A and B are shown apart, each in its own frame.
Chain A
Amino acid sequence: MTPAFGSAPAGSGIASRPGGGNPDQPVRPHRKRRWGRTARWIGWLWVLPALIMYAFFVLRPLALTVQYSLYRWNGIGPARWVGFENYLTVFTDRDLLKIISNAFVLIVFFSFIPVALGLLVASLVRRITTGPGGTLVRTVLFLPQVIPLVAAGIAWSWVLSSSGLVNQALRAVGLDALTRSWLGEFNTALPAVGVIGTWVMLGLCTILLVTGMSKIDPSLYEAARMDGAGPIREFFAVTLPSLRQEIGVCLTVTIIAALASFDIVYISTSGGPGIQTTVPGLEIYRLAFSQRQVGLASALGVVLMLLVVLCVLPIQRLTRGEKA
């Protein structure tokens, strides 16, 4: 009997038993149980305002997007039911597939490189950040994250332009043959956009990793050193495993930023040349607002959401699972 009561408030009750408890239960526990239920309802009452906002501004649009994706609709006039036709288009249209693949290329620049570089930078500056100049170092590192992405996009499109800083530097060292319009040429546009993303994300990753490192027990390093580990060994044996959760957060945040990127691309290249740098976020916006294909845009939006979940869930599992 008792274990059953213990479990009730823990949650199985939610799987609803309409009409309430078991009739042949003794009175006292019954009352106790009802009290538990009231408490739970009071809990719901407290979150109700937030829940209403959440339902209205998150769940409702989400449900509407799913609904729109099943229609052919220009956003104003009458809509026509088309079932899964829009999804079929998303998965068969060569341009749309290319656009989705662009986002995956960006993951390398938005996630993998910043995390790898972030680890390197963090191990290098770890000792400085604890010293008196720590705030300064942290501020400088975090600066790209504070600058609006639009401003970053504009600044970088100057840096990468034909007469920009990058090409000036190349000319200064006699590498004139390498100069080009980085954002305007087919082969370099996507990596160039990626570099902007790397710059933005690096600060975030470094700060997270530095914070993570400061929490590592110094005795672990001591022990490693006593065992004769050099700085590299120390990094792989102590630092890296201890940062599992921080790396997980970094990857999650940056992969979402890569797949859902919009601002940087919109400002620096507008998706061009051709569709070389067009990403799903940009295409959804174009489809919905300039081409007025709200249905197809919604379908692409739903697919993008699922892709984000598909990419992020394994990372969550990998970086959280064993720690628990």
Chain B
Amino acid sequence: MSEFSTRFTRRRLALLVPLLAAGLTISACSAPGSEQPKSEDSDAKVSTELGTDPITLEMYAETGFPLAKALADEFTKQHPHVKFNIREDQFTVIVENAPRVLASDNAPDIIRLPTMVDLVKDGLLKNMDPYFDAYGWDKFPASQLVQLRLTDGGAERGSGSLYGMGLGYSVTGVFYNKKQAEQIGMTQPPATIAEFEELLAKAKAANLQPIMQFNKNTAGINFPHQALQNQFGDPAQIADWIFQKKGATFDTPAALKATQTIQKWAQAGYFPKDANAIDYTAMMGEFMKGNGVFMFNGDWESGNLDKNMAGEVGFFLFPGETADAKNVAMSAPNTFGVGARAKNADAAAYFLNWAHTNEKAREISVTIGGSHPGGPSDLSLPAVTEGTVLAETLKASQQLGADNGAVDFTANATGGIFASAITPEMQKLIAGQQTPEGYVKAVQAEYEKELSR
């Protein structure tokens, strides 16, 4: 009996060995991956004509943000020979898929982009400089597109060639529940951080939830954190860090002070007790139910809040340490790029230019996207109803532009920084499992680890 069983295993082993060997041979032993063809240099010939041949633009957009589809529909209405094939995914899924999708034979013409550095390094994105010249995008305020520029080979962000455009330019700040704000004696938006903290304390004392913020899946408390960080130091330092400039660090007095403040707020109970179990959707639901005086978020929710809490919500840019401090806020284009292997690159660029300059398109950007449509500074903004959140966020966006105070999100510094450092460390911080010093060091350590790859 036992002889049989050992022979049996030996036989199975004998079978496995050649099978594995075959597997290895099939997989060949050359190194995986390959050099992608370098995207063509910046003075390649491009056309600004849309032509009349029927084409279908492949678009890869973000679920839950109807703007891209609305613009596509309007474009088709104006140019019936151009159709769109739109595929949608959640943002995190796009982040994960973008490299492979762009490297495939079926690369999209227009794609919602996450951080672009790796994509440019791998030569997967079209250099937009020729279109910049051809369409005269130099008439746009330079600050509008600065986040979308990368130096040769993607070494640094913030300068160099253009690799994307925004379908709407978002601004972030603080939404507030008007009724509850009145209840705690807020007659106008706080002018300083100290005033804001007083309001938080009053809200807490009035048994209201001072801040409704999510911190599950991704760290929503990074919004208030960076809002503070923007004001506690030179925002240019933060921008350098996000743009991966040499020598930039997260371990700064401003970041530390911001982290200490967040810790203080968490200990004071200003964030929901179960923030680590609240995700973005839950946060929106709670805020709309009236649970939360303040919420740190962006203007992409303006339309939604105007619809579901009409007249009940206000918005302000996060104040500085003094009343005369410059307006600074996280603000980023809703970046869309053109794949290096796109079949209809010219038409895609035409569409992007159209979205910035066409009157109807700009109106859609504002009413559906809730964001500033960008484009040349001499074009007027579409009219919006006074008294709506939309009007307030749009005004804030203009103030920010005037102060040149737009900063990208720290979460966008590298591809993995949000998931592998900011989110887990922030969850620890507000649960009292991490110190402010430990937080800034951990984020910087992960940043260096990623850049060293």
Contacts and interface: CB of A to CB of B under 8 A. Distances in A.
B217 A62 contact: no
Given A77-B36, A181-B273, A184-B276, A270 B216 contact: yes
Given A79-B33, A272-B423, A290 B92 contact: yes
Contacts of B415: 290-292
Interface in B1-57: 1, 5, 7-8, 10-11, 14-15, 19-20, 22-24, 26-27, 29, 31-36
A70 to B, nearest CB: 9
A297 to B, nearest CB: 12
Interface size grouping (class) on chain B: 35 or more
A39 B362 CA distance: 75
Contacts of B7: 10-11
A324 B5 contact: yes
B416 interface: yes
A74 interface: yes
B27 A60 contact: yes
Task: Please report whether the interface of chain B is mostly helix, strand, loop or mixed according to DSSP.
Answer: helix
B178 to A, nearest CB: 25
A79 B96 contact: no
Interface in A35-75: 51, 54-56, 59-60, 62-64, 67-68, 71-75
A293 interface: yes
Interface in A1-46: 10-11, 14-15
A61 B72 CA distance: 40
B274 interface: yes
B99 A76 contact: yes
B366 interface: no
B428 interface: yes
Interface residues of A, number: 51
B216 A269 contact: yes
Given A63-B26, A67-B27, A181-B276, A75 B216 contact: no
A289 B34 CA distance: 18
A56 B5 CA distance: 29
Interface string A121-160: 0000000000000000000000000000000000001000
Contact of B27 (A10, A64, A290): A64
Contacts of B27: 60, 63-64, 67
Contact of B276 (A56, A67, A272): A272
Contact of B19 (A59, A157, A181, A274): A59
A273 B33 contact: no
A78 interface: yes
B22 A186 contact: no
Interface string A247-270: 000000000000000000000011
B26 A55 contact: yes
B416 A292 contact: yes
A76 B22 contact: no
A159 to B, nearest CB: 12
Interface in B413-429: 415-416, 419-420, 423-425, 427-428
Given A161-B274, A181-B273, A81 B431 contact: no
Contact of A161 (B29, B31, B277): B277
Interface in B100-121: 100, 103, 118, 121
B122 A274 contact: no
A275 B31 contact: no
Contacts of B428: 186, 273-274
Contact of B427 (A11, A14, A74, A274): A274
Of all A-B residue pairs in the complex, the 8 with the closest CB atoms, nearest first, are: A184-B277, A59-B23, A181-B274, A291-B416, A289-B96, A273-B427, A184-B276, A63-B23
6 contacts: A11-B8, A67-B27, A76-B36, A77-B34, A286-B420, A289-B97
Given A60-B27, A184-B276, A273-B424, 17 more contacts: A11-B8, A11-B11, A59-B26, A71-B31, A72-B453, A74-B122, A77-B35, A77-B121, A77-B122, A181-B274, A184-B216, A186-B428, A273-B431, A274-B424, A290-B92, A290-B96, A291-B450
